[in-house]
Amino acid sequence: MNSFNDRFLRACRREAVDRTPIWLMRQAGRYMPEYRALREKWDLLTMCRTPELAVEVTLQPLARFDLDAAILFSDIMIPLRGMGIEFEIRENVGPVIAEPVREERDVERLRVVNPEQDVPFVLDALKMLRRELETRVPLIGFAGAPFTLASYLIEGQGARELVRTKQLMYTNPAAWHALMNKLADSIAAYLCAQVGAGAQAVQLFDSWVGALAPRDYHQFVLPYTQKIFDALKVTDVPTIHFGTGTAMLLEMMNEAGASVMGIDWRVPLSNAWARLGDVALQGNLDPVVLLTTPQVVETHARRILHDAHGRRGHIFNLGHGVLPNTPLENVERLIQVVHGD
């Protein structure tokens, strides 16, 4: 008997579901002891580039929790090597770029990613996962959005104020648009290849785009996210557009054309629906709530479910990724509450 749980996919399409679906950003990660055990043996990039390890980590949370989707274990930086970018991921620092992009000649040396040649390990992992999950839950692929990736390339590593990023954007728009165009083409190809390898939905992470004013977002970012979602339309899979700190950008982000809008905890679901109309929404528990107690988790989860009011097209998630010290029992209680147990 086929026991495939399509609750997540149905909610993405705003169809009726028997209970609210839930998956968690960074649901495979450092809060899980089995993940930490693997990290003692392997560094992050090795795990991402080894299909068997990526598959193992992707499946770890599904062995513990009654989640409604799996998301490929990888990192948003992974496709950038295919563009000619050398980087490392340092513990407690994040991505560090060997030669940051600071002017037009730096952009000119970049290539557009060829997924089959540049990231075959990602596609192999997706194919393996799809076979593993065929009768269980849907598989989500993902990528970093052009603005967030550009910020790493220009700053050289994570930066709170994004000073160099905005300086390039404002003072050298030709270099900026050339860079964003190459990133958009690369990410569009990357996500389409993920779908071809078995991803049944894809999410575009624009983690740092909340740093922009609405006018700047519209001029310097929106055309490139639109380009990616336009390219994905031929795949006919649900697409999710997620950012943090984007309360003032939601309407424009929705114009980009994803089928699901991901929101963080700063915007109530009811407010997002009032502003965006009949769209599917994903969110939006503050990840810090999971660092409290099962009782507090239950209270906050019920508030969000009450705000959703059973409306079609709600996928429960956090407003960002699971934090490293999150107690497993709090994750378990969250899933139970969302599923109505």
Show which residues are catalytic: 26, 30, 39, 75, 152
Q: Which H/E stretch holds residue 131?
A: helix 120-133
Q: Which long-range contacts (CB under 8 A, 24 or more apart) does 232-235 make?
A: 232/188, 232/191, 232/192, 232/195, 232/202, 233/257, 234/192, 235/192, 235/195, 235/196
Task: At 143, list the tokens.
Answer: 């990528």
Give the whole-angstrom CA distance, residue 219 versus residue 223. Answer: 7
Helices 173-197 and 146-155 sit at what angle, rounded to 10 degrees? 120
140, 72 Cβ separation under 8 angstroms: yes
- E-state strands within the chain: 70-71, 87-90, 94-97, 139-144, 201-206, 239-243, 260-262, 280-282, 314-315
Q: How far is CA 28 from the centre of its chain?
A: 13
Measured CA angle at 77 (ends 76, 80), to 5 deg: 125
Amino acid at site 161: E
Question: CA of 237: how far to CAs of 5, 119, 194, in Å?
Answer: 16, 21, 11
Amino acid at site 319: G
Give the whole-angstrom CA distance, residue 308 versus residue 68. Answer: 18
- The radius of gyration computed from the CA coordinates of the chain, to the nearest angstrom, equals 19
Task: At 230, list the tokens.
Answer: 């336009």
Task: At 33, list the tokens.
Answer: 């002891």
The CB density around residue 221, as the number of other CB atoms within 10 Å, is 27
